[in-house]
Amino acid sequence: MNKLSLRFFNIYHHIFGEHFNKRIDYKFPSNVMRWDLVKEVIKRKNYKRYLEIGCDTDLLFSKIPDLNIKIGVDPISGGNYRGTSDEFFKQNKNYFDCIFIDGLHTYKQVKNDILNSIKFLNEDGVILVHDCLPANFYQQAVPRCKMLWTGDVWKSIVELRTKDNIDVCVCRIDMGVGIIKKRKNSKKLEFNCSDFSKLKYKEYYANYANFMRIISYEDIFNFLNA
């Protein structure tokens, strides 16, 4: 997105947005990034089949070792499959051990990507979702108005946290990495909401610890092996 559009939507959100200016400092560690997590998970679990949705300049994709299957999906750049995630899943026949979702950061698309990923996830596999922890209203507002943009990915995580047969937490590193296992929900979020797309950042700010089930990097293998 170019600077002019970012500026335009920034003004748009200032006028029509939530008028809520509080920030969250998650204190992300500076020495652990998403690729450290993904590489460690692949190594420790001896995973052989990797899929990445949204690759951009291959910052992450290029750091993944050669595996039996290694597919990177992006309509514009990076990876090795040129097209959108929806197009990819329509023709896909592979099953994966580790799927990293980092494509279009809107609630609806991320939810779609997660549901499609669940269909093609091996029994002991894991789905990872980038950009789950926004620091302020503008960082998560749609349409995008900031270079550093998480989008409203967080809403899809809150929704999944209310389901019975999906276990979800968020690792407190690198803008938040959601971790999703296909198994009974071990800490179901009791929260009634008829339309998760309408959740407000103000509500997130007041409840994020409960909504997101945030864990430290050191705890990810306790979660994965539970």
Query: How far is residue 153's CA from residue 15's CA, in Å, rounded to a whole number?
Result: 23
Question: Which residue stretch of 11-19, 89-97, 103-111, 200-208 sits at the interface with ligand SAM (rule: CB under 6 A)?
Answer: 103-111
In terms of DSSP bridges, do strands 96-101 and 49-53 run parallel, antiparallel, or are they unpaired?
Answer: parallel
* Neighbour-count burial for 65-103, b at 16+ CB within 10 Å, e otherwise: eeeeebbbbbbeebbebeebbeebbeebeeebbbbbbbb
The verdict on 134 binding ligand SAM (CB under 6 A) reads: no
Q: For the CA atoms of 153, 157, 163, 169, what is the dihedral angle to 10 degrees?
A: 160
Query: Given the complex with ligand SAM, which of 75 and 143 has the nearer CB atom?
Result: 75
In whole angstroms, the minimum distance from the beta carbon of 169 to ligand SAM comes to 20
The 47-76 site mask, x for binding ligand SAM (CB under 6 A), equals -----xxxxx--xx------------xxxx
Computed on alpha carbons and rounded to an integer, the radius of gyration of the chain in Å comes to: 17
Instruction: Specify the residue, 105 or 167, whose C-beta has the smaller distance to ligand SAM.
Output: 105
Between strands 49-53 and 69-74, the pairing is: parallel
d(CA 155, CA 147) in angstroms, rounded, equals 20
Contacts with ligand SAM by CB under 6 A: the residue count is 19
Among 13, 81, 84, 125, binds ligand SAM (CB under 6 A): 84
Using the rule CB under 6 A, give the single segment among 40-48, 102-110, 132-140, 154-162 that binds ligand SAM. Answer: 102-110
Instruction: Provide the 8-state DSSP code for 174.
Output: T
The answer to whether 133 and 26 are in contact (CB under 8 A) is yes
Residue number with the shortest CB distance to ligand SAM? Answer: 54
Q: Minimum Å distance from CB 93 to ligand SAM?
A: 18
Amino acid at 174: D
Residue ranges with strand state E in 1-95: 49-53, 69-74, 81-82
- Which positions from 152 to 191 touch ligand SAM by CB under 6 A, shown as an x/- string? ----------------------------------------
* Residues in contact with ligand SAM, shown as a per-residue x/- string from 104 to 123 under the rule CB under 6 A: x----x--------------
Which residues are CB-contacts of 85 (< 8 A; sequence separation ≥ 6)? Answer: 53, 54, 73, 101, 103, 104, 109, 112, 113, 116
Which is closer to ligand SAM, CB of 18 or CB of 40?
40
Span interacting with ligand SAM, options 6-14, 99-107, 151-159, 205-213, rule CB under 6 A? 99-107
Q: What residues make contact with ligand SAM under the rule CB under 6 A?
A: 34, 52-56, 59-60, 73-77, 84-85, 102-104, 109
